[in-house]
Chains A and B, each alone.
Chain A
Amino acid sequence: MSDNKFSRRDFLKITAFGAAAVAGTRLVKEAQASSSSPTGEHQWAMVIDQSKCTGCNYCTMACQAHNDIAPQNQWNVVSPSGEIGGHQTYIARPCMQCTHAPCVEVCMVGASYYRDDGIVMMDYDKCIGCRYCEVACPYQARVFNWEKFEGPNPLVPEWGSPEVERRPRGVPEKCSFCYHRIDRGLKLGLTPGLDMDATPACVNVCPTRARLFGDLNDASSEVSMLLNEHASFRLRDDLATGPRVYYLPADPKEMEVEKQS
């Protein structure tokens, strides 16, 4: 009996130490991998100028058509965000494509993942629909397909034609920076942000050019230059999610000029 007890204790010790060592090394490696910044050649970012945004919602409608989104689901949401100098301001909110995205960290099956260029992607074929990502996102950027989207999209063809497959019932979906337009454009030698065929639909359609898109790794891109020259902010920067969507704060003087033009 006493032998038995001794060996049980040994067994416990060895197993515990072994498991802890393996798990420890793996976790440390993983943690290092996740904290290092992405290494892709391009680092896409969006800049939204609050002085220019009039809250017209064209971006949302183009997005709904190009990505074939059900009317009750919106990937891009435009909300009023207070007044400044007598001018109403708006915040247009696509997915922030966070550098440290809570949705990617929490996804149990790895259906949410980072691309090298910083885009946070959804693998709709892997997702089991647990909605942990939806609960984790501080920006409410994810919408769940509670129902199957059937029938015609009311915004097609006026606002564009679908470029990606409809998502099935039972998975959450979100803005993807129109990765399909970027990838196709790059293959054709185009520059996302400059050539419309390689640029997200919401940026193309904006009538006041409040939305700009480009590569942060390219110092001469419009987004890099704007962010160099102007003060900018990101939504809920306090959460250290590292959004790739930057906002230029509303400037009443500039808004006066915009109004007259």
Chain B
Amino acid sequence: MITKFLAKFPALNSWVLWLGFLGLLLVIGLASGILVFWKGLGITNLTDLVPWGFWITLDLSSIAVSAGAFSLCAAVYLIGLKRYEPVARTATFIGLIGYTMALLSLMLDIGRPDRFWHAVVYWNTHSLLWEVTMCVCLYLIVLVLESMPIIANFEWLRNRFPKIAGWMSHAHHYAPYLAIAGLCLSMLHQSSLGAVYGVLKARPIWYKPEMSVLFMFSAIVGGISLTVFASMLSARLTLKARINDSLLERLAHFVGWALVPYLYFRAWDWLAMTYTHQPGRTEGLEVLTKGPLSFNFWVAEILLGTILPMVLLLKQQTRQNHFWRMVALAMVVGGVIAYRWDVNLSGLLVVVSYLPGESTVAYTSYFPSLVEIGAGLGVIAFGLTAFSLGVRYLRVVDHRFFEKDHETVKVEVPKTVPA
């Protein structure tokens, strides 16, 4: 039926339909966003006991899965793995989108969005969140500069303002310096986002040093996975995207190995370190292992998010099979998002009492409201739209693209292995 319908309207190709679908989500998101700014956070399901919910998870996840940008840029420009340069380009563009998504969801989440600039102007150097804000803002500048040569690929810009496009391409000349800045800033805030939770004595399940290590680790794994997955998906859907599969296969192999220590740390974290019977900590663990988050923890995070993709990516046959590799990478990304959700809620759903002589722990619940979901979908749709346009018009996923294409830089390029 759909094919018949499509045959009637030749202009309605899959690209237009896809944009239409995203446009619909964007409208829903915009309407929800306006509703939030107008009516305030009272229309969310957030409470004084669970003040952080879906939007914070979205914010943390966007930043986490953007980590491909700094890790791949560091690999290319600092470690010297030059042949991954075109993959790093994709990762950088995804990073730019991801951090913009994070800022959008934060704007929704704060009670006074009109004062967002206070976060940069007023400093409390004790606050982890201050450090994260500073790093994210500075890193966003780095990402914009790193993305300049990509945006310079826009044909209209090249034809209309060739000089500006030339300057923008020239930014590539500073890529190694930007990679250093990006590495420092990202190492700082990716781990500090975990420490934001890890320093709070009031929430025993969070209060531990390994939070920052796990956030950092999962971000690198998730970020590279998303980059490889998005590249492969684009290449399947459009001829505008060209990939060198051997590069992506090697990265997927790396993700598979990286999942091994990640699983080790995660298991040590949850199954050994927290086995203390400290009030609130044991209960937080039980919320995960047998409580309301148990499906999320065991299935989404551990089984589908870590163990299964680890096997799929380490086993040569499944890794080389495009379908299974993509499934595995998508599951890793899902697992990282599930981890962020689990961390946030395992601390908030357990309320440790301050009263002497009363039962020490109470439980609360949270599920996002329609407005929260609508606005969140809008933010996600923004990201998908930006990436789709990038693939189509900016050659974001194009592994034939090498540094020699930038007129200002002359670098010898090693021959690539054809896919």
Residue A107 interfacial (CB < 8 Å): yes
Binding site for B on A (CB under 8 A): 8, 11-12, 15-16, 19, 26-27, 30, 34, 79-82, 89, 91, 93, 102, 104-111, 126-132, 134-140, 142-148, 168-172, 233, 235-236, 239, 241
Contact flags (1/0) for B112-139 with A, using CB distance below 8 Å?
Answer: 1001101100111111111001000000
Are B202 and A130 touching (Cβ within 8 A)? no
List of A residues within 8 angstroms of B115 by Cβ: 126-129
Q: Indicate which residue in B109, B203, B351 contacts A130 across the interface (CB closer than 8 Å).
A: B109
Q: Of residues B40, B48, B49, B352, which shows the largest number of chain A Cβ atoms within 10 Å of its Cβ? A: B48
CB-CB under 8 A from A27, the residues of chain B are 125
Known: A12-B180, A102-B200, A135-B200. A108 touches B130 (CB 8 A): yes
CB distance from B195 to the nearest CB of A (A): 11
Please report B residues at the A interface, Cβ cutoff 8 Å: 40-42, 44, 46, 48-49, 51-52, 109-112, 115-116, 118-119, 122-130, 133, 176-177, 180, 184, 196, 199-203, 347-348, 351-352, 354-358
- Cross-chain contact A136 with B202 (CB below 8 angstroms): yes
CB contacts (< 8 Å) of A144 on chain B: these are 41, 48, 51, 111
Contact B357 A89 (CB under 8 A): yes
Evaluate whether A139 and B354 lie within 8 angstroms (CB atoms) in the complex, with A30-B126, A106-B127, A239-B201 already known.
Answer: yes
Chain A residues whose C-beta falls within 8 Å of the C-beta of B355 in the assembled complex: 79, 81, 91, 235
Nearest CB of chain B from residue A121's CB, rounded to whole Å: 13
When distances are taken between beta carbons in the complex, the residues of chain B under 8 Å from A102 are 200-202
How far does the Cβ of B319 sit from chain A's closest Cβ, in whole Å?
Answer: 34
A136 to B129, CA, bound (A): 12
> A178 CB to closest chain B CB, in angstroms?
22
11 further contact pairs, Cβ within 8 A, besides A140-B351, A171-B111: A19-B184, A106-B129, A107-B124, A108-B130, A109-B123, A110-B124, A128-B118, A134-B48, A136-B202, A144-B41, A168-B112
What residues on A are CB-neighbors of B124 within 8 Å? 107-110
A169 touches B111 (CB 8 A): yes
Asked whether A108 lies within 8 Å of B42 as measured between CB atoms, the reply is no
By the criterion CB–CB under 8 Å, are B40 and A105 in contact? no
The reply to whether A135 and B48 contact each other, CB–CB distance below 8 Å, is: no
In the complex, the answer to whether B111 meets A108 with C-beta atoms within 8 Å is: no
The distance in angstroms between the C-alpha atoms of A108 and B193, with both chains bound, is 13
